[in-house]
């Protein structure tokens, strides 16, 4: 025995250590509810010290710690959080109840239309840039502004003349593939969801037996690689791999949410208030044909309004 060791009681056999290791291997099978209770107890024990440290190291103009916030403001924040939770619960209950009863909805004012468009490959792009613009040119009434050929973004064969405009969502195989970045008269470029700079307000949905349960909202960002990131989802919100990511932009226009992709990885960095979430886009392949969602006034609604006025 060296001078650094402190013996205590009888020596422990290797079998005891192995038994502990074996028990440790079984611990991941412990019920999640128990583990969460233990985690909550430990966090409760550590919270005052963590808050005190945070108040020391975080400047007051960035994010005030709970210890420095007046009691009334803290009370209002808690009430607001509870109200948010209740609103989400009621919203989900409303969605489920509406779906179960199949109540006939009133005629919506706005409807969405899907306009089909072909994605132009390199040969088509070359033809447009060389033969049409250069060979034909203005003599055939073709203007450079009719086509948007710059950049490496995908190009589709529909443009502003067909009702395309920047910002419209582009679907591939029923999934969000991107949105219109620039619309020329006859063609348009597409910004894919994985492109750097792509951002959209999205919501998480947990697949259920019959209906998806809508949960937290956040901002989806393209990374320039194969996956996307989901930002600004608080760690107090439930998130798990397998959750769906849907667009919130279709609220009031679509009867079903548009699916962006699926959560593949979630991490919580210590001390950070938001989850780190990685999304795998549902529309991953390079499609040949896409659909651009356009918004238009509902002709049935307008016709009904016209009949009432005639009466």
- Interacting residues toward other proteins by CB under 8 A: 1-12, 14, 16-18, 20-21, 23-30, 32, 35, 38-39, 42, 45-46, 49-50, 53-54, 57-58, 240-242, 265-272
**DSSP conformation class of 274:** B
- Looking at the Cβ atoms of 27 and 71, the one nearer to other proteins is 27
| In the complex, minimum distance from the CB of residue 264 to other proteins, in angstroms, rounded to a whole number | 9
| In the complex, minimum distance from the CB of residue 51 to other proteins, in angstroms, rounded to a whole number | 9
CB burial readout 74-93, b (16+ within 10 A) else e: eeeeeeeeeeeeeebeeebe
- Looking at the Cβ atoms of 47 and 76, the one nearer to other proteins is 47
- Looking at the Cβ atoms of 20 and 300, the one nearer to other proteins is 20
- Looking at the Cβ atoms of 27 and 256, the one nearer to other proteins is 27
| In the complex, minimum distance from the CB of residue 44 to other proteins, in angstroms, rounded to a whole number | 12
Residue 300 to residues 18, 112, 164, 167: CA-CA distances in angstroms? 74, 13, 22, 26
| In the complex, minimum distance from the CB of residue 52 to other proteins, in angstroms, rounded to a whole number | 9
Assess contact for 154 and 124: CB atoms under 8 A: no
| In the complex, minimum distance from the CB of residue 63 to other proteins, in angstroms, rounded to a whole number | 11
- Looking at the Cβ atoms of 32 and 122, the one nearer to other proteins is 32
| In the complex, minimum distance from the CB of residue 161 to other proteins, in angstroms, rounded to a whole number | 47
72, burial (CB in 10 Å: exposed 0-12, middle 13-18, buried 19+): exposed
Task: Name, in order, each residue with C-beta under 8 angstroms of 238's C-beta and a sequence gap of 6 or more.
Answer: 206, 215, 216
CA angle centred on 6, ends 3 and 8, rounded to 5°: 150
Assess contact for 88 and 215: CB atoms under 8 A: yes
Assess contact for 60 and 68: CB atoms under 8 A: yes
- Looking at the Cβ atoms of 140 and 267, the one nearer to other proteins is 267
- Looking at the Cβ atoms of 18 and 90, the one nearer to other proteins is 18
| In the complex, minimum distance from the CB of residue 28 to other proteins, in angstroms, rounded to a whole number | 4
Query: Which sign, positive or negative, has the C-alpha torsion 156, 158, 163, 165?
Result: positive
Question: Nearest-CA neighbor of 272 among 63, 79, 76?
Answer: 63
- Looking at the Cβ atoms of 67 and 114, the one nearer to other proteins is 67
CA-to-CA distance for 165 and 311, rounded, in angstroms?
38
CA-to-CA distance for 311 and 303, rounded, in angstroms?
13
Tokens 């956040």 sit on residue: 218
């Amino acid at each position: 025995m060296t001078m650094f060791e402190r013996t205590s009681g009888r020596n422990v056999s290797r079998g005891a250590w192995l038994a502990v290791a074996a028990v440790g291997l079984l611990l991941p099978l412990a019920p999640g509810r128990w583990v969460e209770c233990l985690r909550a107890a430990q966090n409760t024990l550590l919270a005052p010290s963590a808050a005190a440290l945070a108040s020391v190291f975080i400047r007051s103009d960035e994010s005030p710690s709970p210890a420095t916030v007046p009691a009334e403001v803290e009370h209002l924040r808690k009430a607001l959080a509870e109200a948010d939770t209740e609103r989400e619960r009621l919203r989900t209950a409303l969605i489920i109840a509406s779906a179960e009863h199949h109540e006939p909805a009133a005629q919506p004012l706005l409807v969405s239309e899907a306009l089909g468009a072909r994605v132009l490959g390199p040969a088509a792009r070359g033809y447009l840039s060389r033969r049409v613009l250069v060979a034909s040119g203005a003599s055939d009434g073709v203007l450079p502004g009719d086509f948007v050929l710059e950049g490496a973004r995908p190009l589709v064969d529909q443009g502003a003349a067909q009702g395309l405009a920047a910002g419209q969502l582009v679907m591939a195989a029923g999934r969000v593939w991107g949105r219109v970045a620039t619309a020329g008269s006859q063609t348009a470029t597409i910004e894919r969801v994985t492109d750097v700079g792509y951002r959209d307000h999205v919501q998480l949905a947990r697949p259920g037996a019959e209906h998806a349960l809508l949960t937290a909202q956040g901002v989806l960002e393209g990374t320039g690689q194969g996956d996307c990131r989901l930002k600004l989802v608080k760690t107090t919100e439930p998130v798990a791999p397998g959750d769906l990511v849907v667009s919130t932009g279709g609220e009031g226009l679509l009867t079903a949410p548009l699916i962006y992709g699926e959560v593949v990885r979630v991490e919580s960095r210590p001390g950070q208030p938001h989850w780190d979430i990685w999304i795998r886009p549902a529309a991953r392949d390079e499609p040949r044909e896409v659909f651009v969602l356009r918004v238009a006034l509902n002709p049935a609604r307008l016709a009904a309004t016209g009949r009432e006025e005639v009466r």
